[in-house]
Structure 1
Amino acid sequence: MAFAIKTEIRDPDATSFSFGAQKTMYGGKHIAADDIIFLFASENEGGRGLFARGIVISAEPIARKQNVLRQTPRVSIVVRCTAFAQRPLGRRELKSFGTWQDGQPGTELNIKFYRQATNKIVGISDEAAAFLDRFFEHSEKEPGKDPDK
Protein backbone atom coordinates (compact mmCIF):
# COMPACT_ATOMS: atom_id res chain seq x y z
CA MET A 1 0.00 0.00 0.00
CA ALA A 2 1.16 3.51 -0.77
CA PHE A 3 0.29 6.62 1.20
CA ALA A 4 -0.32 10.31 0.65
CA ILE A 5 -0.13 13.27 2.98
CA LYS A 6 -1.79 16.65 2.70
CA THR A 7 -0.29 19.17 5.09
CA GLU A 8 1.38 22.56 5.37
CA ILE A 9 4.67 22.65 3.48
CA ARG A 10 6.89 25.59 4.35
CA ASP A 11 9.71 24.79 1.90
CA PRO A 12 8.50 22.86 -1.17
CA ASP A 13 12.07 22.79 -2.55
CA ALA A 14 13.42 20.81 0.41
CA THR A 15 14.63 17.26 -0.21
CA SER A 16 13.49 15.89 3.15
CA PHE A 17 10.63 16.63 5.50
CA SER A 18 9.66 15.90 9.08
CA PHE A 19 5.94 15.86 9.89
CA GLY A 20 5.05 15.63 13.57
CA ALA A 21 1.84 14.20 15.03
CA GLN A 22 -0.11 14.09 11.75
CA LYS A 23 -3.74 12.94 11.73
CA THR A 24 -4.39 9.68 9.92
CA MET A 25 -7.46 8.38 8.09
CA TYR A 26 -8.28 5.63 5.58
CA GLY A 27 -5.51 3.34 6.82
CA GLY A 28 -2.91 6.08 7.17
CA LYS A 29 -2.00 4.85 10.66
CA HIS A 30 -0.30 1.82 9.04
CA ILE A 31 2.43 3.90 7.39
CA ALA A 32 5.93 2.55 7.99
CA ALA A 33 9.56 3.06 7.00
CA ASP A 34 10.27 2.31 3.31
CA ASP A 35 6.68 3.04 2.21
CA ILE A 36 6.09 5.26 -0.82
CA ILE A 37 4.33 8.53 -0.01
CA PHE A 38 2.95 11.30 -2.21
CA LEU A 39 3.17 14.80 -0.75
CA PHE A 40 0.42 17.39 -1.22
CA ALA A 41 0.98 20.98 -0.08
CA SER A 42 -2.33 21.92 1.58
CA GLU A 43 -4.25 24.60 -0.27
CA ASN A 44 -5.65 25.68 3.12
CA GLU A 45 -2.12 26.90 3.94
CA GLY A 46 -1.37 28.39 0.54
CA GLY A 47 0.01 25.23 -1.11
CA ARG A 48 -0.69 23.98 -4.62
CA GLY A 49 -1.47 20.30 -4.10
CA LEU A 50 0.71 17.42 -5.27
CA PHE A 51 4.35 18.46 -5.45
CA ALA A 52 6.56 15.48 -4.54
CA ARG A 53 6.93 11.75 -4.12
CA GLY A 54 9.13 10.25 -1.46
CA ILE A 55 10.15 7.36 0.74
CA VAL A 56 9.26 7.21 4.42
CA ILE A 57 12.51 7.12 6.40
CA SER A 58 10.81 6.67 9.78
CA ALA A 59 7.29 6.47 11.18
CA GLU A 60 6.41 6.65 14.86
CA PRO A 61 2.84 6.36 16.16
CA ILE A 62 1.84 8.93 18.77
CA ALA A 63 0.46 7.50 22.00
CA ARG A 64 -3.22 8.13 22.58
CA LYS A 65 -4.24 10.42 25.41
CA GLN A 66 -5.82 8.67 28.37
CA ASN A 67 -9.46 9.39 29.22
CA VAL A 68 -10.24 10.79 25.75
CA LEU A 69 -12.89 8.66 24.07
CA ARG A 70 -12.63 9.63 20.40
CA GLN A 71 -9.15 10.23 19.07
CA THR A 72 -7.83 10.27 15.54
CA PRO A 73 -4.65 8.17 15.40
CA ARG A 74 -1.56 10.32 14.81
CA VAL A 75 1.85 9.48 13.40
CA SER A 76 5.12 11.39 13.09
CA ILE A 77 7.07 10.68 9.91
CA VAL A 78 10.29 11.66 8.18
CA VAL A 79 10.28 11.59 4.36
CA ARG A 80 13.06 11.79 1.78
CA CYS A 81 11.92 13.17 -1.59
CA THR A 82 12.65 11.09 -4.66
CA ALA A 83 10.91 13.18 -7.35
CA PHE A 84 9.03 16.43 -7.87
CA ALA A 85 5.70 16.63 -9.72
CA GLN A 86 5.84 17.86 -13.29
CA ARG A 87 2.13 18.78 -13.58
CA PRO A 88 -0.36 20.30 -11.12
CA LEU A 89 -2.85 18.17 -9.17
CA GLY A 90 -4.82 19.76 -6.39
CA ARG A 91 -8.33 20.57 -5.30
CA ARG A 92 -9.13 22.34 -8.58
CA GLU A 93 -8.01 19.43 -10.77
CA LEU A 94 -9.65 16.77 -8.58
CA LYS A 95 -12.98 18.61 -8.36
CA SER A 96 -14.12 17.03 -11.63
CA PHE A 97 -13.86 13.60 -9.96
CA GLY A 98 -17.12 14.07 -8.08
CA THR A 99 -19.13 10.93 -8.88
CA TRP A 100 -18.41 9.19 -5.58
CA GLN A 101 -19.15 5.65 -6.74
CA ASP A 102 -17.29 5.66 -10.08
CA GLY A 103 -14.19 3.82 -8.81
CA GLN A 104 -11.71 6.18 -10.47
CA PRO A 105 -8.41 6.84 -8.68
CA GLY A 106 -8.96 10.61 -8.94
CA THR A 107 -12.27 10.18 -7.14
CA GLU A 108 -10.55 8.21 -4.38
CA LEU A 109 -8.12 11.09 -3.84
CA ASN A 110 -10.89 13.70 -3.99
CA ILE A 111 -12.89 11.83 -1.33
CA LYS A 112 -9.93 11.17 0.97
CA PHE A 113 -8.47 14.67 0.85
CA TYR A 114 -11.32 17.06 0.13
CA ARG A 115 -14.61 15.62 1.43
CA GLN A 116 -13.21 16.39 4.87
CA ALA A 117 -10.55 18.95 4.07
CA THR A 118 -8.39 18.54 7.19
CA ASN A 119 -4.71 17.79 6.74
CA LYS A 120 -3.93 14.10 7.10
CA ILE A 121 -2.02 10.99 6.05
CA VAL A 122 -4.13 8.51 4.07
CA GLY A 123 -3.60 5.06 2.65
CA ILE A 124 -4.21 4.90 -1.11
CA SER A 125 -4.91 2.05 -3.51
CA ASP A 126 -2.42 0.75 -6.06
CA GLU A 127 -4.59 2.36 -8.75
CA ALA A 128 -4.42 5.77 -7.06
CA ALA A 129 -0.63 5.41 -6.67
CA ALA A 130 -0.30 4.58 -10.39
CA PHE A 131 -2.50 7.59 -11.22
CA LEU A 132 -0.25 9.85 -9.12
CA ASP A 133 2.92 8.38 -10.65
CA ARG A 134 1.87 9.83 -14.01
CA PHE A 135 2.46 13.33 -12.58
CA PHE A 136 6.16 12.49 -12.14
CA GLU A 137 7.07 11.39 -15.67
CA HIS A 138 10.64 12.38 -16.55
CA SER A 139 11.40 13.48 -12.97
CA GLU A 140 13.36 10.50 -11.62
CA LYS A 141 16.53 12.53 -11.19
CA GLU A 142 17.62 13.92 -7.87
CA PRO A 143 15.19 16.51 -6.45
CA GLY A 144 16.33 20.01 -7.27
CA LYS A 145 18.14 18.89 -10.44
CA ASP A 146 17.01 19.48 -14.00
CA PRO A 147 15.53 16.11 -15.15
CA ASP A 148 16.62 16.73 -18.77
CA LYS A 149 20.35 17.11 -18.01
Structure 2
Amino acid sequence: MVIEERPVDDPELARLLFAAFDELVSRYGAEGRSQVKDGARYLVVLDDDTAVACGAVQAFEADSEHPGDGEVKRMYVVPEARGRGLARVLLTCLEHVAKEAGHPVLRLATGHLQPEAISLYESSGYAHIEPWGKYVDQSGVRCFAKTL
Protein backbone atom coordinates (compact mmCIF):
# COMPACT_ATOMS: atom_id res chain seq x y z
CA MET A 1 0.00 0.00 0.00
CA VAL A 2 1.20 3.48 -0.93
CA ILE A 3 -0.48 6.79 -0.07
CA GLU A 4 0.20 9.75 -2.34
CA GLU A 5 -0.98 13.31 -2.54
CA ARG A 6 -2.67 13.96 -5.88
CA PRO A 7 -3.87 17.10 -7.67
CA VAL A 8 -7.60 17.63 -8.04
CA ASP A 9 -7.40 16.96 -11.80
CA ASP A 10 -5.73 13.54 -11.40
CA PRO A 11 -7.69 10.95 -13.46
CA GLU A 12 -7.47 8.20 -10.82
CA LEU A 13 -8.69 10.59 -8.14
CA ALA A 14 -11.52 11.68 -10.44
CA ARG A 15 -12.58 8.04 -10.89
CA LEU A 16 -12.70 7.53 -7.12
CA LEU A 17 -14.63 10.76 -6.53
CA PHE A 18 -17.17 9.79 -9.19
CA ALA A 19 -17.63 6.35 -7.58
CA ALA A 20 -18.03 7.98 -4.15
CA PHE A 21 -20.74 10.28 -5.45
CA ASP A 22 -22.54 7.36 -7.12
CA GLU A 23 -22.56 5.50 -3.82
CA LEU A 24 -23.92 8.52 -1.97
CA VAL A 25 -26.70 8.89 -4.53
CA SER A 26 -27.57 5.20 -4.16
CA ARG A 27 -27.87 5.63 -0.38
CA TYR A 28 -29.43 9.08 -0.09
CA GLY A 29 -30.77 10.06 -3.50
CA ALA A 30 -29.58 13.00 -5.57
CA GLU A 31 -29.40 15.51 -2.71
CA GLY A 32 -26.24 17.08 -4.05
CA ARG A 33 -22.85 17.12 -2.47
CA SER A 34 -21.02 19.71 -0.46
CA GLN A 35 -18.28 21.59 -2.22
CA VAL A 36 -14.60 20.98 -1.74
CA LYS A 37 -12.70 24.25 -1.64
CA ASP A 38 -9.81 25.26 -3.82
CA GLY A 39 -6.63 24.43 -1.99
CA ALA A 40 -7.92 21.15 -0.51
CA ARG A 41 -5.24 18.48 -0.31
CA TYR A 42 -6.22 15.06 -1.69
CA LEU A 43 -4.66 11.75 -0.75
CA VAL A 44 -5.03 8.57 -2.81
CA VAL A 45 -4.34 5.05 -1.53
CA LEU A 46 -2.72 2.73 -4.06
CA ASP A 47 -2.81 -1.05 -3.75
CA ASP A 48 -0.67 -2.83 -6.35
CA ASP A 49 -0.58 0.42 -8.35
CA THR A 50 -4.39 0.65 -8.37
CA ALA A 51 -6.12 3.64 -6.74
CA VAL A 52 -8.53 2.16 -4.18
CA ALA A 53 -9.28 4.98 -1.72
CA CYS A 54 -9.21 8.74 -1.39
CA GLY A 55 -9.83 11.58 1.00
CA ALA A 56 -9.16 15.29 1.36
CA VAL A 57 -8.47 17.93 3.96
CA GLN A 58 -9.53 21.52 3.52
CA ALA A 59 -9.70 24.61 5.70
CA PHE A 60 -12.95 24.75 7.65
CA GLU A 61 -15.16 27.74 7.00
CA ALA A 62 -13.55 29.97 9.60
CA ASP A 63 -15.69 31.63 12.21
CA SER A 64 -14.96 33.20 15.58
CA GLU A 65 -15.59 29.93 17.45
CA HIS A 66 -13.47 27.67 15.22
CA PRO A 67 -10.56 29.61 13.74
CA GLY A 68 -8.14 27.48 11.81
CA ASP A 69 -10.00 24.15 11.99
CA GLY A 70 -9.70 21.66 9.14
CA GLU A 71 -12.38 19.51 7.53
CA VAL A 72 -12.21 16.00 6.10
CA LYS A 73 -13.91 15.62 2.72
CA ARG A 74 -14.47 12.82 0.21
CA MET A 75 -13.37 9.81 2.27
CA TYR A 76 -14.02 6.78 0.08
CA VAL A 77 -12.77 3.20 -0.30
CA VAL A 78 -13.81 1.07 -3.29
CA PRO A 79 -16.08 -1.82 -2.19
CA GLU A 80 -13.61 -4.56 -3.14
CA ALA A 81 -10.92 -3.04 -0.88
CA ARG A 82 -13.09 -2.54 2.21
CA GLY A 83 -12.53 -4.41 5.45
CA ARG A 84 -8.74 -4.21 5.23
CA GLY A 85 -8.15 -1.13 7.38
CA LEU A 86 -7.41 1.22 4.48
CA ALA A 87 -9.89 3.87 5.65
CA ARG A 88 -8.30 3.97 9.11
CA VAL A 89 -4.79 4.37 7.64
CA LEU A 90 -6.06 7.03 5.23
CA LEU A 91 -7.80 8.92 8.04
CA THR A 92 -4.59 8.89 10.08
CA CYS A 93 -2.70 10.32 7.09
CA LEU A 94 -5.35 13.02 6.59
CA GLU A 95 -4.99 13.93 10.27
CA HIS A 96 -1.24 14.27 9.74
CA VAL A 97 -1.81 16.54 6.71
CA ALA A 98 -4.23 18.66 8.76
CA LYS A 99 -1.82 18.93 11.66
CA GLU A 100 1.03 19.92 9.29
CA ALA A 101 -1.25 22.63 7.88
CA GLY A 102 -1.77 24.02 11.40
CA HIS A 103 -5.35 22.90 11.94
CA PRO A 104 -5.92 22.39 15.70
CA VAL A 105 -9.17 20.49 15.15
CA LEU A 106 -10.40 18.28 12.33
CA ARG A 107 -14.14 18.19 11.60
CA LEU A 108 -16.27 16.10 9.29
CA ALA A 109 -19.83 15.29 8.35
CA THR A 110 -21.27 11.94 7.30
CA GLY A 111 -24.74 10.47 7.09
CA HIS A 112 -26.87 8.13 9.17
CA LEU A 113 -26.95 5.61 6.30
CA GLN A 114 -23.19 5.15 6.55
CA PRO A 115 -22.79 3.18 9.80
CA GLU A 116 -19.35 1.94 8.74
CA ALA A 117 -18.12 5.54 8.48
CA ILE A 118 -19.68 6.49 11.82
CA SER A 119 -18.01 3.48 13.45
CA LEU A 120 -14.63 4.43 11.94
CA TYR A 121 -14.82 8.01 13.20
CA GLU A 122 -16.03 7.05 16.68
CA SER A 123 -13.33 4.39 17.07
CA SER A 124 -10.70 6.88 15.82
CA GLY A 125 -11.38 9.36 18.61
CA TYR A 126 -13.86 11.68 16.91
CA ALA A 127 -16.60 13.13 19.12
CA HIS A 128 -20.15 13.89 18.03
CA ILE A 129 -20.73 17.63 17.60
CA GLU A 130 -23.63 19.81 16.59
CA PRO A 131 -24.14 20.22 12.82
CA TRP A 132 -22.91 23.46 11.25
CA GLY A 133 -23.80 25.53 8.22
CA LYS A 134 -25.86 23.71 5.61
CA TYR A 135 -25.99 20.59 7.79
CA VAL A 136 -28.03 22.22 10.60
CA ASP A 137 -31.38 21.42 9.01
CA GLN A 138 -30.45 17.97 7.64
CA SER A 139 -31.73 15.38 10.09
CA GLY A 140 -29.64 12.49 8.77
CA VAL A 141 -26.29 14.25 9.05
CA ARG A 142 -23.84 13.18 11.75
CA CYS A 143 -21.01 15.61 12.52
CA PHE A 144 -17.77 14.85 14.33
CA ALA A 145 -14.60 16.62 15.47
CA LYS A 146 -11.23 15.61 16.86
CA THR A 147 -8.57 17.75 18.48
CA LEU A 148 -5.24 17.02 16.81
Same fold (TM over 0.5): no
Higher relative contact order (CA 8 A, sep 6+): 1
Q: What TM-score, normalized by structure 2, do the two folds share?
A: 0.24
Q: What TM-score, normalized by structure 1, do the two folds share?
A: 0.23
Higher relative helix content: 2
